[in-house]
Amino acid sequence: MKRKIFTSVLAVSTMAIGLVGTSGGLSGAVANPTILTEETNVGVTFTDNFNPADSQSTSTQMATNSLAFEPLIQFNALKTGQWYPWLATNETFNSTGQTVTFTMNPKAVWSDGTPLTAKDVANEFNAISTNPGLNVFGVPQQAQPAVASGNKVTLTFTGPQFSNREALGGVLIFPVAGDVVATKHPNSVVSSGTVTLTHDNVVGNGPYLPTRYSGQMLSYTASPHWKITKTPYVTGVNVPYFASNQAATEALASHQLDWAGNDIPQIQQTFVNVDPKHNHFYYPPGSTVTLWFNTSPSAPDGTKDCLADPNFRYAVSMGINRNMLAAIGETGFALPATSSSGLLPNQVQYQGKFKNDLPLNGWSSSKVGKFLKAHGYTLDSSNYFQVTSAAAQKATGLGPNTECTFNIQDPTGYSDYAEDEQLISANLQGDHINVNTMGVTTGQWNSNVYNHNFDAIIHWGAGGSNPYTQFENWMDDASNTGGSTNYGQFKSPQALAALVGLAASAPGTPVFQKYVTQLSTIMSTQVPAAPLVYGPDWDVYSTLRFDNWVTPKNQYAYPGPGGNNVAYVLTMLVKSKG
Bigger pLDDT: 270 vs 514: 514
- Same domain as 304, residue 451: yes
Q: What is the pLDDT of residues 517-569, one digit of tens each?
A: 999 999 999 999 999 999 888 899 999 999 999 999 999 999 999 888 999 99
Say if CB 545 and CB 36 are below 8 A apart: yes
**Pairwise CA distance, residues 220 & 36, whole Å:** 10
Q: Which helix (H) or strand (E) covers residue 532, if one does?
A: strand 529-536
Q: Please list the residues that pair with 546 across neighbouring strands.
A: 575
- Same domain as 430, residue 311: yes
Quickly state the pLDDT bin for 14 (edges 50, 70, 90). very low
How many domains are there within the chain? 3
Q: How far is residue 147 from each of residues 100, 183, 453, measured CA to CA in Å?
A: 11, 20, 39
Burial 61-70 (b: 16+ CB within 10 A, else e): bbbbbbbbbb
Strand order in the sheet with 259-260: 208-213, 217-222, 236-240, 35-39, 259-260, 540-542, 279-281
pLDDT at 266: 82
Q: What is the pLDDT of residues 279-336, one digit of tens each?
A: 999 998 889 999 999 999 999 999 999 999 999 999 999 999 999 999 999 988 899 9
pLDDT at 465: 82
Residue where a domain stops, chosen among 117, 148, 181: 181
In a domain, residue 276? The reply is yes
Residue at 61: amino acid letter: Q
- Same domain as 222, residue 329: no
Residue where a domain stops, chosen among 181, 214, 239: 181
Q: What is the mean pLDDT of residues 403-428?
A: 94
Q: Pairing relation of β-strands 529-536 and 279-281? A: unpaired
- Same domain as 213, residue 303: no
pLDDT at 482: 64
Q: How far is residue 388 from each of residues 384, 396, 399, 484, 559, measured CA to CA in Å?
A: 12, 11, 8, 36, 50
pLDDT at 31: 61
- Same domain as 211, residue 253: yes
Q: Compute the half-sphere exposure of residue 501: CA atoms within 13 Å on the CB side of its CA.
A: 17
Q: What is the mean pLDDT of residues 398-426?
A: 94
Gap between the terminal Cα atoms of the chain:
34
**Pairwise CA distance, residues 216 & 208, whole Å:** 19
Q: How far is residue 293 from each of residues 280, 309, 364, 431, 533, measured CA to CA in Å?
A: 36, 11, 22, 18, 16
The CATH number of residue 414's host domain is 3.10.105.10
- Same domain as 435, residue 375: yes
Q: How far is residue 375 from each of residues 321, 368, 389, 419, 473, measured CA to CA in Å?
A: 22, 11, 8, 31, 29
In a domain, residue 115? The reply is yes
In a domain, residue 261? The reply is yes
The CATH number of residue 550's host domain is 3.40.190.10
In a domain, residue 498? The reply is no
pLDDT at 346: 86
Q: What is the pLDDT of residues 207-233, one digit of tens each?
A: 999 999 999 999 999 999 999 999 999
Q: What is the pLDDT of residues 238-251, one digit of tens each?
A: 999 987 667 777 88
- Same domain as 343, residue 416: yes
> Structure pTM?
0.85
Q: How far is residue 429 from each of residues 52, 138, 320, 438, measured CA to CA in Å?
A: 41, 37, 11, 15
**Residue 562 belongs to what domain range?**
13-69+206-284+539-575
- Same domain as 338, residue 448: yes
- Same domain as 298, residue 249: no
**Pairwise CA distance, residues 352 & 331, whole Å:** 30
**Pairwise CA distance, residues 71 & 174, whole Å:** 10
The CATH number of residue 154's host domain is 3.90.76.10
Residue where a domain stops, chosen among 181, 196, 215: 181
pLDDT > 50? residue 12: no
pLDDT > 70? residue 183: yes
Measuring CA to CA, which residue among 559, 540, 543 is closest to residue 6?
A: 540
In a domain, residue 483? The reply is no
- Same domain as 222, residue 99: no
In a domain, residue 4? The reply is no
In a domain, residue 561? The reply is yes
pLDDT at 284: 87
- Same domain as 95, residue 61: no
**Pairwise CA distance, residues 370 & 366, whole Å:** 6
Measuring CA to CA, which residue among 147, 82, 156, 139 is closest to residue 117?
A: 147
In a domain, residue 195? The reply is no
Count Cβ atoms below 10 Å from residue 511 Cβ, excluding itself: 12
* Of the listed ranges 19-28, 216-225, 475-484, the one predicted with least confidence: 19-28
The mean pLDDT of the chain is 91
- Same domain as 428, residue 293: yes
